[in-house]
Chain A
C-alpha cells in the first residue's frame, strides 16, 4: 500500500487528541490536514479533497453528524471515520446512517485506529479498482441506472437518485454476482469491514433503501430479493 498517496483530514477540537492522531497518521506515511471546527470542515471541501475524514462528533460550529450528512448531500463521497466520546449503540447507528463508514469510541487503541484507517482506505481501493476494471461504470437493470463512479442514478420512473457510498458499495457487491446469494455477513465484511454494526440488521435497512429507490413495488421486490435466513440475491432482469 502506497500510503503517501493518501490524504487524511482530521477534524477534532481537542488539541491534544488532534495532535496525537495527526502525528501517528503522519508517522504511518499519510498526508494529514487538521481542522477543529465543523463548519470549517464543510467549507474546506469547497477547495480541497482527501481520501479519508477522521471526524469528531462534538465539534464547535457544527456537529460531526451534521458535517457528514452535509458533505454527503453535496455529493462528497469521501469515507468518514467517526471518532467520538459518544459510544452508545444508538450514536453509532446514527453516525453510520449519517453516511459514516466506521465509528470508534473514545478512548480508543492506537493500533485499532490505524487498522481501521487502513481498512477503510483498502475497501475504497477495492471499490475504485473494481469500478475501473469493470469498464462499464454504469449498472443498468430493469429500467434503472446507477453510476458507480458518481453515485448518481435514475430509477425506472425517471426519478434521479443520489446514492450514498454505502448503497453504491452494496449495489456493487450484489451486482458482481447476479443471481447468486450473497450473505449478510459477506456484505458486512465487504462494505463495512468488520463488526461495526451491532447486528446484520443494519444491512437490511440499506437493502430497504435500495428497494425504495429502484423497485417498482418495494413491498414485492424483483431485483433485491431476500433469501430468508441467509442474505440477498440480486436479479438484474426486466420485471415480468
Chain B
C-alpha cells in the first residue's frame, strides 16, 4: 500500500514536471518565433528607411521597388508589402499551432501511459485485496469447527464422561473433521472458479442419470431427517455442460434444500425437469425454512450463510451456492432462487442449454 502511494506521488510529480516542461517549451518556442518575427520586421523597417532615403534622393520608384522586392513602393510612400505582412503573421501562427499540437500530443501520450500503468496497478491491488479478504473469510470459517473440535477434546480430557456421552463427542468431532474437509475442497473449488482456472468441458450430459446418481447418495440422510425426495426428470432430457459441473451443481442445490428442510422437522424436496425452448430447466423445490425476498442475491455470495446451522445438524460453508452460480455461469447456464418468505420453502431454478434429444 505504502509503495503504491509512493509510486502514485512520483508519477504525479513526473506529470507535473512534464507539463511544466511542456508549457515552458511552448512558451520558449513562442517567444523565439516572436523574436524572429520582430527581427524580420526590424529588417523590413530598415529596408523601408533605406528605400525612403533613396526615393528622397530622387531614385525612381520602379528601381527602388526592384531593389526591395518585399516592400510596397508607391510614389512617395514605402510600406511592408501586404503579402510579406501576411506571410510573417501566418508563419508565426503556424509555428504556434504546430507547437501546440506537438506539446499536446506529448502530454496526451504521457498521460495515456500513466493511465495504463495505474489501471494495471489498480487491478493488481484489487486482486490482492480480494485474496486477502478471501483468506480472512477462510480462516474465519475454519475457526468455528476448530473451536468445536477443541471444545470436545478438552471436555473429554477434563471430565470423566459416561461411554455414550463420549461416543456423542467422538461423533461430533468426526463430523467437525468432515466439515473441515468439505470446506477445504469447496474452498479450493471456489478459488479456482473465482479465477476461472477450472477447465470445463462442454458435452451432452443426460440429466436423469446425473440427478438420480446424486439423489441416491442422499436418500439415507433424507430418510433420517424425515424428508421425501421426489424426482421427475424425463429420460430423454440432455443438457450441454460439463458432467462434473452438473454433478456438483445438483449436489450443492440438493444439499442446500435438505439443510433447509431438516430444521423444520422434515418435509419434501422435489426435483422436476422439463424442456423450455432451447433450454432445460430443473426446478428444485423444498418445504424448508425459505428466505426473505431481499436475500436472494446474498444467497449466492461467497461465505454467506443465511440460516447458518439454525437447528440443523448440517453445516453450510457458505460456498455451495456460490459454486453453483459460478459453475452455471461458466458452463453457459444460469441459476435463480425464489421463496415465498421465511418458513415457506424455496425454489431453485437451474437452466442449461439443451442438447439434442436421445434417440
Contact = CB atoms under 8 A, between A and B. Distances in A.
A118 interface: no
A13 B158 CA distance: 24
Interface stretch (B25-33, B220-228, B233-241, B307-315): B307-315
Contacts of A220: none
B242 interface: no
Contact of B155 (A14, A20, A85): A20
Nearest to A83: B147
A16 to B, nearest CB: 4
B199 interface: no
B37 to A, nearest CB: 68
B176 A16 contact: yes
Contacts, number: 73
Contact of A13 (B146, B154, B308, B313): B308
A108 B147 CA distance: 6
A34 to B, nearest CB: 11
A86 B143 CA distance: 9
Interface stretch (A21-29, A71-79, A154-162): A21-29
A229 interface: no
Interface residues of A, number: 25
A48 to B, nearest CB: 19
B160 to A, nearest CB: 10
Contacts of B214: none
Given A37-B310, A60-B310, A107-B150, A24 B144 contact: no
A17 B159 contact: no
B239 to A, nearest CB: 34
Interface size class of B (residues with CB under 8 A): 20 to 34
A178 B149 CA distance: 49
Interface in A69-119: 85-87, 105-111
A85 B148 CA distance: 12
A227 interface: no
A15 interface: yes
Interface of B: 140, 143-152, 154-155, 158-159, 165, 172, 175-176, 305-313, 315
Given A16-B172, A60-B306, 19 more contacts: A13-B308, A13-B309, A14-B308, A15-B313, A16-B148, A16-B152, A17-B144, A17-B151, A24-B151, A60-B307, A60-B310, A85-B143, A86-B140, A87-B143, A106-B144, A106-B147, A107-B149, A108-B151, A110-B155
Interface of A: 13-17, 19-21, 23-24, 27, 36-37, 58, 60, 85-87, 105-111
